[in-house]
Amino acid sequence: MKVTKKWIKFIPLLTLIVGPVAETQAATSQLAILYTNAAKNRNGGDPQIKARLRNRIQVTNRTSRQSRANFFVRLVNIKRIGYNERGVDLFSSFIHLAGGGFTANEKIPRNEGRIVERRAKADLVSIITTGTGGGGNRGAVGWANTPGYYSAINADSLGNTQGVPHEIGHNFDGLHQRAHRLPNGLTTVMWGNFARAWTQYYSNPHVRRNGVLTGNGNKNNAIRMRRRDYANANRFR
Ligand SMILES: [Zn+2]
């Protein structure tokens, strides 16, 4: 009897403690990835680029999970497309995917994007090309709507596991200026410069890595991502 009473007393306290950090179930956003022949060659072939992309999506989901960013991405389609990016910077390929283009070649990413949106119900669509730069940023290796549905990622940057979780993180409203640099010099995924040592977290002032907080009051991408989670996942529902 005494034990029961004690537990009853503890229930409201536990609710108070658990309540603020409890997570709602992650909504699933479906992702399709389109890549070019040149992007395939840079990664060693079709099986190799596909394996690499599947791994990078796993890294993205792990990053989201351990940051409590609360989004989950399911890869529903990976497809090589007949788009020639020679002489086309990465930003232009991103625009071709998101908004279209003038020439027959430029229209291919948008048309292929529409097909995977319709047939595979892809909420998010990403294109991988060998292009870099554009939009006034010579060194850019990725572009994404922030928040939004589209991204473009450089084929060589797939060797770095940060590229995909970074660009997909933008689709969930992640911002460079909300990324966090930990006291040990590691930076969270949305940091604007890939050259730095990074850790598989989106900034969150309530989540620690090896005892160290991964964010602060202003450096909190996780809360932005949780707000965007359902909008992306429910795009076609
Ligand atoms: Zn970025």
* Ligand 1 centroid distance, CA of 57 (Å): 17
* Ligand 1 centroid distance, CA of 203 (Å): 14
* Ligand 1 centroid distance, CA of 168 (Å): 9
Torsion of CA 174, 28, 226, 24, to 10 degrees: -160
* Confidence (pLDDT) at 221: 98
| pLDDT tier at 24, thresholds 50, 70, 90 | low
Distance CA 164, CA 70 (A): 17
- What are the chain's domains? 27-175+222-233 (3.40.390.10)
pTM for this predicted structure: 0.88
Query: pLDDT, tens digit, for every residue of 85-130?
Result: 999 999 999 999 999 899 999 999 999 999 999 999 999 999 999 9
Torsion of CA 136, 138, 139, 140, to 10 degrees: 40
